[in-house]
Amino acid sequence: MGSIRQHVNPLGRFFQQPLELPSLTALFPQSHQPLHLDIGCARGHFLMEMAALHPQRNHLGLEIRRPLVERAETRRQQRQLDNLHYLFCNVTVSLASLTRQLPPGQLQLVTIQFPDPWFKRKHHKRRLLQDSLLNTLAAAMAPGALLFLQSDVYPLMEEMATLVQARGCFVRQPPDWWPENPLPVATERERLVLARGLPVWRACFQRITP
């Protein structure tokens, strides 16, 4: 297998072309089930384990690196997990085509974990969580739905948490920084960081009534 690029510029011309994502009916046999959306799912191991643990929920991973999506889909098919799918897209451009199809209340959990920090200030506009994406998520998430964020880069987490709170559609769930992961599965990155004795910053937000 060839190497996969670690960094993809989401503002590149190719990734700015919107994709019409398939409907949940086309993806899942039980398309009415509650939906967990994992944005930037990378190799998909986290979501695959979540799908196995929570068959009563559909799980959809979105990733901008197509080779990772193709490999994750192959593993999903081998495990015959019908409540799981992975899609290639740039979420900042294409997510709205998916969320506008969702019935009210279906999107119950959104996870964004260890997104690319794009450290240089001139590259901050490439960061995943921007106003446009947050507006799309807020419009799709019903009151009570959860948005879970985590990263090992504190300035990035602080920026994301501030952005979510400023939107006014979410309330931060105490404590401000969760010392433990509330989800039953850790991502590969989380396990690696913790094994090195380094901190992980986590925050959870609940969608409130508009």
- The percent of residues in the chain predicted with pLDDT above 90, rounded, is 70
d(CA 154, CA 203): 11
- Asked if the model's pLDDT at residue 20 lies above 90, the reply is no
118 vs 42: which has the higher pLDDT: 42
Q: Is residue 166 part of a domain?
A: yes
Catalytic residue among 38, 82, 116, 176: 116
Q: What is the CATH number of the domain that holds 72?
A: 3.40.50.150
pLDDT in tens, 122-179: 645 656 788 889 999 999 998 999 999 999 999 999 999 999 999 899 999 999 999 9
Q: Is residue 6 part of a domain?
A: no
pLDDT for the residue numbered 119: 47
When the pLDDT of each residue in the chain is averaged and rounded to a whole number, the result is 89
Asked about 116 being catalytic, the answer comes back as: yes
- Asked if the model's pLDDT at residue 3 lies above 60, the reply is no
Q: Is residue 3 part of a domain?
A: no
Q: Where are the alpha helices (DSSP H) in the chain?
A: 24-27, 45-53, 66-79, 91-99, 131-140, 154-167, 188-195
Number of domains, the chain: 1
